[in-house]
């Protein structure tokens, strides 16, 4: 039994690959390395360099490696940039998903775990987001992920495809010092890069209706997220029932100020964040319930905020040492 992990050389995908390996499940990686790194793929795991838009290549990988299921992580994930690049976003995330599903249908592969996003909710008007919270995406990225969920749903009706979609909230940390988040847009690498380079991190808005006045978000450790992909794949392989979507959230948010304090404590670099005006569209609080995922996908918060920051800092330092 082999699972194809699309985007398996990226920050999240590489953690998924290692989580599968830890429980003895074989994987093959398909990645165009546009944001991934070949070095993130463990020795012994086949890496095919190519695009999910190449349906023939996806078919070839499925056939040659006798793939029985897919974890679809590949995609263009930058919500802010997607506003400036909507066509690229839809091509990668909608056409790309359609391509993967078409190849699966051709090769008789009928199980998929889909990497979705909290961006499908937009700005929810509730203190705790559940899977029943209405979706209202506010960017081409969020829209593309919701369309991906619809593609799986409709293909399930048409062909019996077994599937589930995991809506990630803010994924941080590292499960191994050699795997680091290299995104130019995510909060943790932005703060750590600023500290390493002698710049002062910035907080946008300190007058929100939250305990310390800064925005509250839901942060989850990437290694915890990866384990739930394994649980989802195992249930699909065993033909056990799954919900169509699951939130991977903590149920209890963390403020930007708390993150800055943890960053200073863990790195040993003392700083007082610069205070900037609010950014348009930033809601005060977005926190999700992970109860359904806890019930079905072994989802739980195994790492504290300190763990998240410490693991990210260790990986950032290791990356600097390798450079």
Catalytic residue set: 141
Instruction: Give one DSSP letter per residue of 143-172, joined into a string.
Output: HHHHHHHHHHHHHHHHH--EEEEEEE-EEE
- The CA distance from 185 to 94, in Å, is 22
CA dihedral of residues 319, 321, 322, 323 (deg, nearest 10): 90
- The CA distance from 74 to 99, in Å, is 12
- The CA distance from 233 to 164, in Å, is 9
- The CA distance from 96 to 306, in Å, is 36
The answer to whether the beta carbons of residues 78 and 185 sit under 8 Å apart is: yes
List phi, psi (to 5°) of 276: -120, 165
């Amino acid at each position: 039994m082999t699972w194809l992990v699309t985007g398996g050389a990226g920050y999240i995908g590489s953690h998924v690959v290692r989580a599968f390996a830890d429980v003895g499940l074989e994987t093959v990686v398909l990645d165009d390395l546009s944001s991934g790194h070949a070095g993130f793929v463990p020795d012994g795991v086949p890496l095919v360099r190519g695009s999910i838009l190449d349906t023939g290549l996806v078919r070839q990988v499925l056939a040659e490696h006798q793939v029985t299921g897919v974890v679809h992580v590949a995609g263009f994930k930058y919500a802010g940039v997607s506003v400036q690049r909507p066509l690229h976003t839809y091509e990668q995330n909608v056409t790309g998903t359609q391509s993967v599903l078409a190849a699966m249908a051709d090769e008789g592969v009928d199980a998929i775990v889909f990497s979705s996003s909290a961006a499908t909710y937009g700005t929810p008007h509730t203190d705790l987001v559940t899977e029943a919270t209405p979706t209202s995406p506010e960017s081409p990225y969020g829209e593309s992920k919701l369309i991906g969920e619809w593609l799986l749903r409709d293909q399930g009706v048409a062909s019996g495809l077994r599937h589930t979609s995991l809506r990630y909230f803010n994924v941080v940390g590292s499960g191994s010092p050699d795997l680091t988040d290299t995104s130019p847009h995510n909060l943790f690498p932005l703060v750590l890069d600023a500290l390493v380079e002698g710049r002062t991190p910035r907080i946008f808005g300190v007058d929100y209706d939250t305990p310390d006045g800064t925005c509250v978000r839901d942060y989850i450790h990437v290694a915890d997220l990866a384990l739930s992909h394994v649980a989802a794949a195992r249930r699909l392989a065993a033909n056990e029932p799954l919900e169509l979507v699951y939130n991977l959230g903590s149920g209890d948010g963390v403020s930007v100020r708390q993150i800055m304090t943890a960053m200073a404590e863990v790195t040993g670099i003392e700083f007082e964040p610069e205070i900037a005006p609010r950014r348009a569209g930033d809601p005060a609080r977005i926190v999700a319930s992970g109860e359904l995922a806890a019930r079905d996908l072994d989802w739980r918060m195994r790492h504290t905020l300190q763990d998240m920051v410490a693991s990210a800092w260790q990986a950032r330092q290791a990356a600097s040492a390798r450079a």
